[in-house]
Structure 1
Amino acid sequence: MTSSSQPAGSALLVRDRDAEFLGLPSGGAFRLLADSDETGAALSANRLALVAGADGAQPHLHRLSSEFFYVLDGAAEFLLGDRIQVVGKGDVLVIPPGLPHAFGAVQGSGTDLLVGITPGVQRFGYFRMLQRIAEGQDSPESLLPVQDRYDVHFLDSVTWQIARNGRPSAE
């Protein structure tokens, strides 16, 4: 994305052709739409496409921000605390600060999600890290030192492991 911080009182317009595209090896992709420096910290937004059954985010929580998901197409499975909820096309889900959550495309269906976090947190660097991890260029452990910077605090969830794998992990 080439735009810079917007002056107070001006609108931010991100053209589809200008949104940064981050392809994922699974066939999914991020489209980076607006980061907090461009919105005066009001929000950060991206679009995430996942192929059938693909994981989107492992269990985590945000301490500072609410996160919203609008399902543009398909269906996604969400961990919300200790329960699983399927969210389909046209549905909106808002997750408040402090609620453990995770998500992925349901088996047999891809999903296309509009995702936002408010108040905004610089997130584009985080998504670039996720792409490098997915491509094997970096390790998942590289995210641990930046949890506070990106307000993404990772958790373990047996409920999510069972929902996604049919059993808890062997760790």
Structure 2
Amino acid sequence: MSLPVKEIVLAPGEGNHLTTGNSEIIFKVVGADTHGHLGLFENIIQPGGTSPVLHIHRQMEEMFYVLEGKVEIQVGNQIVQGQPGAFVLVPRNTPHTFANRGTQDAKLLIMFCPAGEREKYFEGLAELLKDGQTPDRDALIELMRQFDQEPVEI
């Protein structure tokens, strides 16, 4: 029998913080908090900030909700210029990526269902990007594959 999900109440800016390149991730809820059902992260992206390569997830859906600024989101063949209030659902096996091409910071909520241990991907990414280094391509691809993320070759 699994333990019940416990309440989590976080004020703005609260949650475990992680820096990946020049973007910041704040974990609001991770898979361990929800029996793996979902994870919700806040991503603060500087203009030109770190953005993922075009990729797919085979085992999860991903959702984006723009809170502040402008975020360009590619989902399948569509490119969405997301402004506050914009929402995008990315079904499994759908190529997607996102970037802040604006001149101000952008804030994005990212949800994963199921979550598994998705936060560990970002922890690994932070390690690969520490001290401003460019990650080894093979190490990055291995990290991606470990956590249900596969690059899409163009």
Q: TM-score range by the shorter chain?
A: 0.7 to 0.9
1:92 aligns with 2:87: yes
Asked if 1:23 is matched to 2:19, the reply is yes
Q: CA RMSD in A?
A: 2.2
1:106 counterpart = 2:104: no
Count of residue pairs the alignment pairs up:
150
Give distance in 1, aligned partners of 2:68 and 2:49.
Answer: 15
Q: Matches of 2:116 and 2:49 in 1, distance apart?
A: 25
Alignment gaps of 5+ in structure 1: 1-5, 158-171
CA deviation vs aligned residue, 1:69-102 (integer Å, no higher than 9, x gap): 1111001111222332211111111111111001
Residues 74 and 97 of structure 2 are in contact (CA less than 8 Å); yes or no, is this contact kept in structure 1?
Answer: yes
From 23, 30, 53, give the equivalent of 1:58: 53
Q: After TM superposition, give the deviation of residue 121 of structure 1 in Å.
A: 2.2
**Aligned sequence identity (%):** 21
Larger Cα Rg: Structure 1 or Structure 2?
Answer: 1
The alpha-carbon deviation at position 141 of structure 1 amounts to 2.5
Does residue 1:128 correspond to 2:104, yes or no? no
Structure 2: which 5+ runs fail to align? none
Higher RCO (C-alpha 8 Å, min separation 6)? 2
TM-score w.r.t. structure 1 length? 0.77
Match of 2:8 among 13, 20, 23: 13
- Which deviates the most, 96-105 or 119-128? 119-128
- Indicate conservation of the 8 Å contact 2:30/2:39, yes or no: yes
Q: What are the Cα deviations for residues 134-165 of structure 1, in whole angstroms up to 9, with x where unaligned?
A: 222853421322434311111123xxxxxxxx
Q: Return the alpha-carbon distance in structure 1 between the equivalents of residues 106 and 93 of structure 2.
A: 25
